[in-house]
Structure 1
Amino acid sequence: MTPTDGITLIDTGYIRPGLCAAYLVHGEDGRAALVDCGTATCAQRVLDAIAAAGVARDAVDWLLVTHVHLDHAGAAGPLMRALPNARLVVHPRGARHMIDPAKLIAGAKVVYGEAMFARDHAGMLPVDEARVVVADDGHEVPLAGRPLLCVDTPGHALHHYSVWDARTRGWFAGDAFGLSYREFDNGNGAFAVPTTSPVQFDPLQMQDSIRRLVARGPASIRIAHYGQVGECERLGGDLVALVDAMADIARGFDGRGDRGARIAAALAELYLERAVTHGVADAQRLVPEVLGGDIAINAQGLCVWLDREAKGRAGG
């Protein structure tokens, strides 16, 4: 957890090491902001990491959640009760769900099932509305000596923003710049795939957001899953192309009763092919082992997208 460029990566401990990151951004005079925070079950681990980074709880002025999916914002309620001076910065479409998380909880139980929800997400709490700051596109968070700019980046979710840090010329992109696990790194750099989880994935919006992130010429992009990546232009191009490939796979199986399983199998083949092309050693093992859960969730999201597209065509 050694700070780099005044940023401490915090492994939230969600499911396994190296899966889900939050970021502690250090401002002047010991003040700090936290970007994303993991699930409710991760709250104590995040608090311990803040203390280990030498930041007092009352010095955390801001908690920015890039979007309100539970692996990014589920711990917001418990953390806000433990960080007395923090204000929660959230997208306009997500604010009501932080104030009253009942619909988030119900939706997560549908996606993950009751048992997995109890294991990984139990303990969510509402956030006091008086401490919630709504971040429209272009909203600036005044962290001491280090302003952070919130930029709307839909595609993964309509309630998603990314955070520009001018000091490092870098983004905190949540899930807007895909998944890139360090197990896949090699001499050719990082390997990334989009994350199309339910329920608001939109391929054109996702591609536009990726291009918007790259257009600023970032030196690096920090993502939730997992860590810091460079070569942003190359990775952005790879992600845009993969969005098209994944949408084509989904359309190819639309209308079949077993489409979910077929889409998941085709995604696994696609990612394996791309990993081998990237030069990933032992890709046959790593792709299902590391990406297995994401493949299942991506397939679910693609199915939801197909149904939404069909409903739109029908005028429903």
Structure 2
Amino acid sequence: MLPMTSHGIHTIDTGFVRPQFDAAYLLVHNGHGAFIDCGTNHSVSRLLGALADVGLDASKVDWLILTHVHLDHAGGAGELMARLPNARLAVHPRGTRHMADPSQLWAGALAVYGEEVMEQAYGRLRPVPAERIVEAPDGHVVDLRGRLLRCLDTPGHAKHHMAIYDEQANVCFTGDTFGLSYREFDTRQGPFILPTTTPVQFDPEALHASINRLLALKPDAMYLTHFGRVEHVERLAGKLHDMIDAMVAVALNAKDSTDRHARLVHELTQLYAARTAEHGWHGDREALVHGLGTDIELNAQGLGVWLDRG
């Protein structure tokens, strides 16, 4: 059975990378559904299984809403939409062309990961017919049978990023704007959270502003793609702001290093080790790298791109 909170919100583990790493969400309202994010091609069977678990036919899904078009959030969009005959896809205006023609997304990720990893991790990207795509500029409202889902432009992680505010539930689906929080790092102090600076559009000032914008809504909880529902959002926002500044400081200190990337990886690992220890987490360095190694590498790459942009 699917985990569910109130208001018909179901958390789906997409199976990407490891358990409880990458989530999609199914909202059910008045006998119809909307997915928020979808994982990769390999996640589609899990999303369809979620529909079966709640007794909802695929024809009753009205929407797939994407927070942004990075492949761990949107890679399976074309395959999923092919199985949802009546659904439309809502996406940030900057992401529209990538859904209709994902060749540039594929090429960009291919340059980072290589073809073998791309095939294994994501599968070939399938276009979404242009007539089924709805651009969702800032303030656009997706109407799920009377349940209003407001799309908010939230750059900082990516220029094509939006968060979705569910007015009925008073929660935000934040994609990567409100950071990463993996359950294996939870302690008595609650969730541990950190920003994601994944290449190529990290902008610290914009990310600070986007976090504050979501916080101003006074939501009861945030639903993160990585991973799940988190509460006590004001405290977590403070941690995110502090960590963004700390990561920027790490980048600036490494700016002129001849081995800049290696130094960024090392310094980020040191930073996260210190902060998880302060948080009361007692894992060793091996466990830290197991849980955050992918993010450390991607965050180092993203900070490097940010430095190169000047």
Same fold at TM > 0.5: yes
RMSD: 1.0
Q: Distance between the aligned counterparts of 1:278 and 1:23, measured in 2?
A: 28
Question: Does the 8 A contact of 1:136 with 1:152 survive in 2?
Answer: yes
Q: Indicate whether 1:250 and 2:287 are aligned.
A: no
Q: Indicate whether 1:172 and 2:177 are aligned.
A: no
Identical columns (%): 50
Q: How does 1:163-312 map to 2 (within 5 A)?
A: 163-309=164-310
Q: Tell me which amino acid in the other structure corresponds to 1:249.
A: V
Q: Distance between the aligned counterparts of 2:59 and 2:125, measured in 1?
A: 21
Q: Distance between the aligned counterparts of 2:114 and 2:193, measured in 1?
A: 27
Q: Distance between the aligned counterparts of 2:209 and 2:9, measured in 1?
A: 27
Question: Does the 8 A contact of 1:66 with 1:160 survive in 2?
Answer: yes
Deviation at 1:2, TM superposition (A): 3.2
Counterpart selection for 2:11 from 6, 9, 12: 9
Counterpart secondary structure, 1:93: helix
Q: Tell me which amino acid in the other structure corresponds to 1:26.
A: V
Q: Tell me which amino acid in the other structure corresponds to 1:302.
A: L
Question: Where does structure 1 differ by over 4 angstroms across 4 or more consecutive aligned residues?
Answer: none
Counterpart secondary structure, 1:111: helix
Q: How does 1:65-214 map to 2 (within 5 A)?
A: 65-214=66-215
| Aligned length in residues | 308
Q: Distance between the aligned counterparts of 1:2 and 1:289, measured in 2?
A: 25
Deviation at 1:255, TM superposition (A): 2.5
The aligned residue for residue 56 of structure 2 is 55
Q: Distance between the aligned counterparts of 2:233 and 2:46, measured in 1?
A: 30
Q: Tell me which amino acid in the other structure corresponds to 1:11.
A: D
Give a deviation string over 1:207-258, Cα, whole Å, max 9, x none.
1111111111110000000000011001101101111110111111113231
Q: Indicate whether 1:40 and 2:30 are aligned.
A: no
Q: Tell me which amino acid in the other structure corresponds to 1:13.
A: G
Q: Distance between the aligned counterparts of 2:51 and 2:103, measured in 1?
A: 28
Q: Distance between the aligned counterparts of 2:24 and 2:284, measured in 1?
A: 27
Counterpart secondary structure, 2:212: helix
Question: Does the 8 A contact of 1:57 with 1:83 survive in 2?
Answer: yes
Q: Distance between the aligned counterparts of 2:42 and 2:11, measured in 1?
A: 18
The aligned residue for residue 312 of structure 1 is none
Q: Distance between the aligned counterparts of 2:42 and 2:124, measured in 1?
A: 7
Deviation at 1:305, TM superposition (A): 0.7
Q: Tell me which amino acid in the other structure corresponds to 2:54.
A: A
Q: Tell me which amino acid in the other structure corresponds to 2:253.
A: G
Question: Does the 8 A contact of 1:91 with 1:134 survive in 2?
Answer: yes
Shifted more, 249-258 versus 237-246: the winner is 249-258
Gap runs ≥5 in structure 2: none
Q: Distance between the aligned counterparts of 1:179 and 1:271, measured in 2?
A: 12
Q: Distance between the aligned counterparts of 1:111 and 1:27, measured in 2?
A: 39
Q: Tell me which amino acid in the other structure corresponds to 2:164.
A: V
Question: Does the 8 A contact of 1:8 with 1:53 survive in 2?
Answer: no
Deviation at 1:9, TM superposition (A): 0.3
Counterpart secondary structure, 1:268: helix
The aligned residue for residue 26 of structure 2 is 24
Give a deviation string over 1:79-125, Cα, whole Å, max 9, x none.
11100000000000000000000000000111222221111111310
Q: Distance between the aligned counterparts of 1:50 and 1:265, measured in 2?
A: 43
Give a deviation string over 1:245-297, Cα, whole Å, max 9, x none.
10111111113231111101100110110100011122534321100111000
Deviation at 1:67, TM superposition (A): 0.1
